[in-house]
Amino acid sequence: MLGACATKPSLVPGQSTEADVRATMGPPTETRTLPGGDRVLWYAQPVPDTAYGSERVAVTLAPDGKLRSVEQRLAPQYIAKVLPGKSTSSDVRDLIGPPTRSYARLGKPGEVWEYELQGFQRPATLYVELSPEQTVEAVYTLERDSATSDRPRHR
């Protein structure tokens, strides 16, 4: 759970504060407050040493402002919790963070969120399709031939 802390040795769960996190990691991409009062600072970062892909690092702070955890959330175990027909856009943001980009769906109402993944052998993009009511309708991944090929078009 604290795997990303290994790359940020100055952050210590239970001791480090939000000011320490911001001094180490910079300003977050997004901040969310969870129902129990914890806050999550989201950091969108490129995957090191790759041409394509990104990480979503969730830095969770307790209500007292102390660090609870640092986790890379754009990972299979979190993506698997995004369930069509059950998850909402808020659930998605809490599970895997803010998208790389979002846009209106072509030919039908709602929107699409994209997340750049580092594929096994090729770059991949995770797509989350949302209804106008902000319920997840579909979750899927498409791989590309190479990092330099045109992005897949969503139809």
Mind listing the pLDDT tens digit for each residue in 112-132? 999 998 766 678 899 999 999
Q: Return the CATH class of domain 76-143.
A: alpha beta
Least confident of 26-35, 70-79, 101-110, 111-120: 111-120
Predicted confidence (pLDDT) at residue 52 exceeds the cutoff of 70: no
Same fold, 3-72 and 76-143: yes
For the chain, give every domain's residue range.
3-72, 76-143
pTM of the entire structure? 0.81
What CATH number does domain 3-72 carry, 3.40.50.720, 3.90.550.10, 3.30.1450.10, 3.40.50.10800? 3.30.1450.10
Q: What is the pLDDT of residues 96-106, one digit of tens each?
A: 999 999 999 98
Cα 81 → chain centroid: 13
Q: How far is CA 125 from CA 46, 51, 119, in A?
A: 14, 13, 8
Q: What local confidence, expressed as pLDDT, does residue 51 receive?
A: 59
